[in-house]
Structure formats: C-alpha cells, structure tokens
Amino acid sequence: MNPFGLFLIAATALFPAYQLFALPDIADKVALFSQYLGLAALILMAWGQILATRLRGIETVFGGLDRVYVLHKWAGIVAMAAVLMHDTIDAEMRGLGRETALNELAETLGEVSLYGLLVLVVISVATFIPYHLWKWTHKAMGALFVAATFHFFFIMKPFAMTDPAGIYTGFFCLAGIAAYLWTMVPERLRPSHAYRIAMPEQTGGALALTMTPEGAGLRRPLPGQFGILSFSGAGTGEPHPFTFSGIAPDGTLRVTIKALGDFTTSLRGSLEVGQALHIQGPFGRFRLSGKGREVWIAGGIGITPFLAWAEALGDNAGTVDLFYCVSSRNAAPHLAEITELAKAKQNLRLHVIASAQGARLTAEGVADVVGGDLSKARVSFCGPLALRAALQTGLRRYGVTPRRFHYEEFEFRTGVGLKQLAQWIVNRTWRETQPSKSYQG
C-alpha cells in the first residue's frame, strides 16, 4: 500500500477538526466533536466510493488494486465507527434557530442511513454471506451514502454550507456520489478492450486461454499484472480478475483458469474458440524486480504471474530460485513450460515440491536451498493464504523482513479478523488458566 495514499485519506478526514474548532463562540465542545465525527465519516465514505471505481490513477496514488480494496474496506469500517460515535454523542447545539420540515426530513434520513449502513457493513465483512447477496447489499451502501449526504446538506449545524467547512465536506460528498454513480454503470459500458479466444488448452488441472485483441489491445501490460475479464455467452456476465500467464509482443494475452469456485467451474464448460470477451486493465503492482537475489514461491495456480516473470527474466538479472508447490506433477499447470524456461535461462532454478510424493515446502527448506542468510533476498509469493502465513513467519528467522516478502491480496472480499481475534483470546485465556510449572532440581 502506498503510504502517501493512506496519509492523504487520513489528512482529509482530520482537516474538518481544524475547521470546526476554529469556529468562534462555540461553547459546547462535546457536541462540536460529535459534529466533527459526522463530517469525518462522510469523507471516509466518499473515499470508499472513490476507491471502488477502479479509475486510472487510483493505483498510482494508493498502491495495487488489491491494496486499494483493503483500504476501501477499512475506510468503510472506520466511517461506520465514527457514525456510531456521532449518533451516541449528542451533536445537537442550542441557538441554531427553529427547525423546518426540511431539517426534520434530513434528521430522519440520517437515522435511516445510520441503521442501514450498520446492517450492510455487518453483511459486508461477514464472509459467510453468499456472494450474490453481498454484491447487491454492497452497492446499496452508495444509496445510503446519498441519504447521509442529504442529512449533511440540510441538517441544522453551526456553520453554513457556504462556509469553508460546508464547502470542503460538501465537495467530498458530491465526489463520492459521482463515484457511486460510476460504479453503477454496467460493466459493458465501461472502458475496456475487445478480445477473442484463440486457443483454449488444458494444462494440468487448469485451462489456459490464449486471447487475441480485436483492434487495440491493452496498453503495455507488465509481467505480474492482471485484467478483469467479462465473457460473452458464457452463462454469466460477472467480471472476474485473472492474472496474465502470458504476454506476447503482438498483444496476445493468456490467462490460466482453475475451477476453484462456482464462477470458474461454470466458466470452464462454456468457453470456445472465437468467443468474444472484454478486458479491463491492466491492474496490479506485483512486478518483476530483476535485481539481486530473488526467491519466487508459487502454490498451484499461483504459478501464473511467475510464468510471465520467467519469460521476461533478463540474462543480467540475479539468480532466482522458483519453488513450485503442487499436489502432483500431473495436476501442475504449465509444468512443462516452466521447466523449459528454467533450462533456457541460466539464472532461473526450478524446484518442484509435490505433496503427493510426501514433500512439503517450509522456511527451513527454502533456506537450505537458497542459503542460510536470506536478509538480502527478495521473496515473492503467490498461492494459498495458509502457506503464505506459514512461510512469512518461518522466513523471518532467516532475515526476510515484511518489506522483503511481496505478495498480492487476491482475497478482495475479506472479514475483519474476528476469527483470529477470538482464537487469540481463547488461547491466551487457556494459557493463563493453566497451573504454572516450577523447576525442581
């Protein structure tokens, strides 16, 4: 995540505090603080809508699209906490005049947006909610944001909409509404590039799709990036992200699809040569470094970005150890291709770890192959979350800091860590209730 983007959101949400507390003749500072919480919540909700647009430049400011979605989620959660505190702390100020029917309507819409957003945020972070329900309730947040904007514009407050505080927060509200309207535009009407399937090919337990552009293709996709694909006539119009496993100079692209869920399972049975599709992108900041000592770790279908990396690996790049973790060699996508690339490139060393043969990749195994001190190596990972967590923890003992362990967060829809928190509390409580052991000589 780009620290500048995080600072930008925090600074814009904090600035209204200066605007409000600079107002003259405000005695009730508690109510004024509640007013600030409401403004900060609106600004954070506006940022949440802006981050969801996938517009060009978003990744430049905030980091890769995977990190943008994480930031989008936490902006919404913090905004919801601010709204709850705003509602709990009395924001009503005396001497602001007599309420009108418009003021009362704004009050009512504020209550509607509060409780509606509370329900939808719970649904959003509850990963057991079915995706189709989550998707539509997530879009409904924008409508409640519009209600919250109406509440802000027409509620009685200690400043006018023409004052700096009103103009500043009002600008964010309107920008957020514009972003929400953009996200409601059908995917087929958004900027994209037309392609056709040239060759579907089975590789291990996955399907590789080679796609040729219809006219101008994507503009300079880089190894490791992904596109958001929308297939026509595939039984579903739902766009889906896929990493490019092949990028040719003539604009031809390849993605590799493994049946991991309802979408990919249904998709594989409905694709054919000549079928049209549209690609948005390219997205992502999972880039090839090509400098110094590198370790690449792929788990199953996580080999896809490394295929493009390996193809682009220059002769002058440092030595790369690629660990490819698979269930079996027969089920490993593109195993023959990556094996040939490793033979052709003197600085690429391939290590296949097949669990069917009893092999399992550990941090100790990586260190034994690469060398005990990994503090100067850059580790790049793409694969299952459990394997990533285990290797991140284990490799720290060999000098691999979090800044040197690179990965992309493909779980765009995530919770807030409640399971991990509950497990931590249970483990800690259990340890504290155990009788202490003393050393007896």
- For the domain that residue 388 is a member of, what is the CATH number? 3.40.50.80
Would you say 411 and 261 are in contact if contact means Cβ atoms under 8 Å apart?
Answer: no
Indicate whether 230 pLDDT > 60: yes
311 and 364 assigned to the same domain: yes
What is the pLDDT confidence band of residue 235, given thresholds at 50, 70 and 90? low
- Name the nearest CA neighbour of 380 among 263, 439, 293, 280: 293
Quote the pTM value.
0.81
The residue-averaged pLDDT of 389-401 equals 93
Number of domains in the chain: 3
Condensed to tens digits (0 to 9), the pLDDT of residues 140-182 reads 888 999 999 999 999 988 889 999 999 999 999 999 999 999 9
Note the pLDDT of residue 427: 46
Tokens representing 62? 């905030």
- The amino acid at 197: I
According to DSSP, the residues that pair with 202 across neighbouring strands are 207
Cα separation of 351 and 13, whole Å?
48
The answer to whether position 351 is within a domain reads yes
Q: What sign results for the dihedral spanned by CA atoms 51, 56, 59, 64?
A: positive
What is the DSSP secondary structure assignment for residue 281, as one 8-state letter? E
Using the structure block, give the residue that is written with the tokens 């998707």: 135
Using the structure block, give the residue that is written with the tokens 């405000």: 26
The answer to whether position 439 is within a domain reads no
Give me the chain's average pLDDT, please. 85
The answer to whether position 289 is within a domain reads no
Return the CATH number at 260: 2.40.30.10
10 and 150 assigned to the same domain: yes
What is the pLDDT confidence band of residue 7, given thresholds at 50, 70 and 90? very high
Task: Give residues with Cβ within 8 angstroms of 425, minimum separation 6.
Answer: none
329 and 273 assigned to the same domain: no
Note the pLDDT of residue 236: 56
The answer to whether position 302 is within a domain reads yes
17 and 156 assigned to the same domain: yes
Domain end point (choices 283, 303, 337): 283
Q: Which domain holds residue 239?
A: 191-283
205 and 179 assigned to the same domain: no
Tokens representing 154? 């027409």
The answer to whether position 415 is within a domain reads no
171 and 266 assigned to the same domain: no
The answer to whether position 355 is within a domain reads yes
Note the pLDDT of residue 49: 94
50 and 132 assigned to the same domain: yes
The answer to whether position 179 is within a domain reads yes
